[in-house]
Structure 1
Amino acid sequence: MLLTISYSGADASDLGFLLHKHPGKLQTFSLSVGNAHVFYPEATDERCTAALLLEVDPIGLVRNKRLGGSDSFSLGHYVNDRPYASSSMLAVAIGQVFRTAMTGRSDTRPELAAAALPLEIELTSVPSKGIDGLASRLFEPLGWKVVETAIPLDPEFPEWGESRYSNVRLVGGFRLSEALRQIYVLLPVLDDSKHYWVSDDEIGKLLRAGEGWLSEHPDRELITRRYLAHQRSMVADATSRLVEVGDDVVVEPPTPNTSAPLYQMRAEAVVAALKDVSAHRVADVGCGEGALLRRLVADPSFTEIIGTDVSARTLTAAEEVLHLRDLSDRQRARVRLIQSSVTYHDARIRGLDAIVLMEVIEHVDPERLAAVESSVFGDARPEAVIVTTPNSDYNALYPSLPAGRFRHPDHRFEWTRAEMRGWAAGVADRNGYSVEYRAIGDVDTSAGSPTQLALFRRI
């Protein structure tokens, strides 16, 4: 299997600095999947092409207990397309041989590494399982011009038709690191198969390689499902993380002194607050695709769990994330998903121990906040209400977020800490609640925490 990367421009041979592979040398790397060779068919000042050729040993694959396919008969381990199909094995080779290039680091040519380059990338014998024109469907939304050339089953017998393999040519202006990360993810997606056992660390690989493009891809769900080999628990976890990112202008990273991402700390802080008020019957209003509900369902102390959202499609996705159909009757009876709005009075959520509005109110028009107060604090009137929302004081610490912009294009507002406390104090006073404020994420001495939480207790 062969990958070529061509760059045309001034001092084109500087491509070698970005790939960290010398154009004048043939280099061979021994990998778990075979031997990878890097060489340069052309390297001039006007145009440079780097090639990655992967030679796979099918016998070695069978003998390696860590690797293995899904063939159900013994001969299938030896007679298959793995030695020539550009699949997950080539993706592994890209990840290992061009590891530094994928991070975008180049100490000698930093400005070139950060620039969008006119690239031409060719992939040979790319499998496309189940969907015609899948390569175009996956790469074109990212900005690539895609040419798929189908490979016939046998050139001597054209009447046999075309195989499911094609040669794929990509042309576009991208940072080299970005292009490599996209190919790394999408090759096994095209094949809908991986040659190794998919474990939990694949989620991290997907999120790191997909940063900046996957959350906005129209086929995000297809990509996630195929990349994670249809393992439902992992697909649900990855999907919930990508949903948190959504179309955000800024991807919330792990805060400086912790390894946990902010979305995880937010959900954990909400669960901790629910425990503090001894809540057992809980409604997650504006539940989305189930980022919080998954944690509640996994904890048997929550005996009644209600998720509400205005979108029926989102509730269907949440049902899949929670695997409700796979639960026992007793477990399933704990959970209800209902279509409703945070601004409407709904008798189905009245009298509970707690209602959670996790990253919800900033999506409501300010003039509708009185309706939120009336429905949640007035009509539903739970023992406790937990509200989380971004702290706009913290936005200045995100270098990629332009001044005056919100973290998400659907946000109607983002409050400072003073604005949040002013609103919460008024709501508590008018409805007979006390309120406590908590920080989520590492606290900056001047900007506070990235997310703010208000815990209301009914007096």
Structure 2
Amino acid sequence: MLLTVSTTHAPATDLGYLLHKHPDRVQAFGQSFGTVTVFYPEATPERCTAALLLEIDPVRLARGRGRGTSDVSLSQYVNDRPYAASSLLAVAMGDVLSTARAGRCRSHQDLADAAIPLEIEVPVLPCRGGPELAAALFAPLGWQVDAEPIPLDETFPEWGDSRYLHLRLRGELRLADALNQLYVLLPVLDESKHYWQGPSEVDKLLRSGEGWLTAHPEAELITRRYLGHHRELTQDALARLAEVEREASGVVVEENDDDADRAVARPLNRQRHDAVLAVLQELGVRSVIDLGCGQGQLLDRLLRSGSFDRLAGSDVSVRALQVAAKRLRLEEMSERQAERIALFQGSLTYEDDRYAGYEAAVLMEVIEHVDPARLGALEQVVFQAARPRVVVVTTPNREYNARYADPTASRHPDHRFEWTRSELAQWCAGVAERHGYTVELRGIGEVDEQLGAPTQLAVFVATEGAQAAGAGGPAGATQGGSDD
């Protein structure tokens, strides 16, 4: 399969910086199912085109499938075994263009963050649904879609069209957004994948669909097809998308080229990540532990920011930590990179030496999951035993629930309580006084004049005496376990 990405943004050869592939080089990348070659058919200041060519090796694909299975018979090599080319292209693109998909470009970050004119072409693309489906999936994302059916045989027009399209997309988008949309939608059009799908596929979908999938009019169809119509995976993904959509109450205004303002909803969970990262950077901390890290979304954001020398995550759920490890790609890290981050199981209501030794601790949407009778134990563990210089807490504002469809319901069925602004302020003041901290309360998300912001943010900073007592714990403290 062949995919090309072109731009006329001047100088157009800056596309090489965004893709992290030099226009003057031809680069080949081996995959378990073939070879991916990246090259530039044209590279001028006016127009630049990068091509990604996937050559599938059926023998290598068969051998790879045989590992760990009982089917190693000769039939794998002599039978015509179908495979999902779009799925293979998406996996190859995810591997070869991973940094571009993340939107990172150290030398041209402003360009990576900007919408630029793009033209994407796939000469032969399997599509179960025809041109209408391609338009329904890409047009709502801002693309001008040209999907031309390919005849089964041009010499026999009466045979009709094949299920393949010649797809051209034109629009102005961030390159990272365009690549993530392709990563999801190429296998969705094909409605087939070449590998077994498990729970990690839901995380891939939500990660690649961040910022566009929840608002897409065909979000359910995309989810169902991407996950191979697996009922449990689809239900899980749709439930998580619904939660994100419900929390998407913050609005950011951006300018477009038509001199009109466009309101873009930014999910509240992303605003929380932004706010926590901003606080940590503002206070100049270099080591952070995420207490109740869940599946590692915040850790992933902190790791990608490059602002921290040492990170750790702790959660009571082993399954969540396994997902976090995959999200962070711990097994793919070099030894030096892996030394910067640690994951371990632990409960916030029991003291653990591994919690100590970090400048900052984050409890993001965690405290409301603790039984009120155990809040004293959590306070002792975090503010007395671990005693970081900075503690950042976020929690729902119960008053804001009046804006939701069912104002009497908790935002999550596992919430043991949800505090009003005055209740959080009272708890924070008591903790700060008992343990030698100052505390500042802020809001995250769209502010209602009467109800406040949907999320409450508390920033605790140790006074000089408390800082000397706790924040300077030895780095090695994170490696030892508790004797309990």
Query: What is the TM-score normalised by the length of structure 1?
Result: 0.60
- Code of the residue aligned with 2:91 in structure 1: it is V
Name the residue aligned to 2:29: 29
Q: d(CA) in 1 for partners of 2:97 and 2:241?
A: 25
**Structure 2 matches for 1:171-320, cutoff 5 A?**
171-246=170-245, 248=248, 249-253=266-270, 257=290, 258-260=292-294, 273=371
**Structure 1 portions without partners, runs of 5+:** 69-73, 277-356, 377-384, 407-411, 418-439, 447-459
Instruction: State the superposition RMSD in angstroms.
Output: 3.9
SS class of match (2:177): helix
Alpha-carbon offset, residue 388 of structure 1: 3.5
Does the Cα contact within 8 Å between 1:362 and 1:413 map onto a contact in 2? no
CA distance in 1, matches of 2:26, 2:116: 24
1:363 is aligned to 404
Give the conservation status (yes or no) of the 8 Å contact 1:40–1:49: yes
In the alignment, structure 2 segments of 5+ residues that lack a partner are: 70-74, 249-265, 277-289, 299-319, 321-362, 375-397, 426-439, 462-484
Q: Deviations over 1:371-404 (max 9, x none)?
A: x69xx9xxxxxxxx96647869999575xx5xx5
Change in Cα spacing, 1:76 to 1:124, as seen in structure 2 (3 Å) is farther
The offset of 1:9, in angstroms, is 2.5
Amino acid aligned to 1:137: A
SS of equivalent residue, structure 1 residue 4: strand
SS in 1 for 2:459: coil
Tell me how far 1:275 sits from its aligned partner.
11
**Distance between the aligned counterparts of 2:43 and 2:182, measured in 1?**
23
Cα distance change on mapping 1:128 and 1:416 into 2, 3 Å: closer
Question: Does 119-128 or 36-45 show the bigger shift?
Answer: 119-128
SS state of the match for residue 269, structure 2? coil
Q: Give 1:36 deviation, angstroms.
A: 0.2
| Structure 1 pair 129–358 and aligned structure 2 pair: CA distance change class (3 A) | farther
Q: Which residue of 1 aligns with 2:44?
A: 44
Would you say the 8 A contact 1:359–1:389 is kept in 2? no
CA distance in structure 1 between the partners assigned to 2:179 and 2:201 by the alignment = 17
In 2, Cα distance between equivalents of 1:118 and 1:239: 32
Alpha-carbon separation, structure 2, partners of 1:266 and 1:359: 18
Find the counterpart in structure 2 of residue 119 from structure 1. 118
Shift of 1:227: 1.0
Q: Is the 8 A contact 2:130 2:149 kept in 1?
A: no
2:294 is matched by which residue type in structure 1? A
Q: Partners in 2 of 1:414 and 1:66 — Cα distance?
A: 59
Task: State the alpha-carbon separation in 1 of the partners of residues 60 and 147 from structure 2.
Answer: 31
User: Residue 232 of structure 2: SS of its match in structure 1?
Assistant: helix
Paired-residue identity, %: 44
Contact between 1:104 and 1:114, CA under 8 Å: does it hold in 2? yes
What residue in structure 2 maps to residue 452 of structure 1?
Answer: none
Distance 1:154 1:47, change over 3 A: same
- Counterparts in 2 of 1:441 and 1:126: CA distance versus 1, 3 Å: farther
Q: Compute the displacement of 1:103 (Å).
A: 0.7
Residue 77 of structure 1 and its aligned partner are, at CA, apart by 8.5
- Name 2:255's counterpart in structure 1: none
* Superposition map of 1:87-102 within 5 A: 87-102=86-101
Tell me how far apart the structure 1 counterparts of residues 451 and 51 of structure 2 sit (CA, whole Å): 48
**Does 1:62 find its partner at 2:40?**
no
Q: Alpha-carbon deviations, 1:5-59, whole Å to 9, x = none? A: 0000211011001000010011100012210000000000000000000000122
Partner SS for 2:183: helix
Structural mapping, 1:435-450, within 5 Å = 443-445=458-460
Give the aligned length.
Answer: 314
Paired residue secondary structure (1:213): coil
Determine if contact 1:224/1:238 at 8 Å carries over to the other structure: yes
Q: Which residue matches 1:334?
A: none
Q: CA deviation at 1:140?
A: 0.5
Residue aligning to 2:80: 79
CA distance in 2, matches of 1:268, 1:198: 30
- What is the one-letter code of the residue matched to 2:58? P
Aligned-partner Cα distance in 2 for 1:106–1:361: 42
Contact 1:143 1:172 in 2 (8 A): yes
Return closer, same or farther for 1:241/1:179 CA change in 2, 3 Å cut-off.
same
Q: State yes or no: 1:13 paired with 2:13.
A: yes
What is the DSSP-based 3-state SS (H/G/I as helix, E as strand, rest coil) of the residue aligned with 1:50?
Answer: strand
Contact kept in structure 2, 1:148 and 1:166, CA below 8 Å: yes
What is the deviation of 1:251? 3.8
**Partner in structure 2 of residue 296 of structure 1:** none
Q: Structure 1's 396 and 224: CA in aligned 2 closer, same or farther, altered over 3 A? A: farther
Question: Secondary structure at the residue paired with 1:186?
Answer: helix
Q: Match for 1:15: what amino acid?
A: L
* Cα drift, residue 190 of structure 1: 0.7
How big is the shift at 1:123? Answer: 1.1
Normalising by structure 2, what TM-score? 0.57
Distance (Å, rounded) in 1 between the aligned partners of 2:211 and 2:110:
19
Structure 1 residue 197, shift from structure 2 partner: 0.9
Distance, in Å, in 2 between the alignment partners of 1:201 and 1:55 is: 26
SS of residue in 2 equivalent to 1:173: strand
For 1:297, the equivalent position in structure 2 comes to none
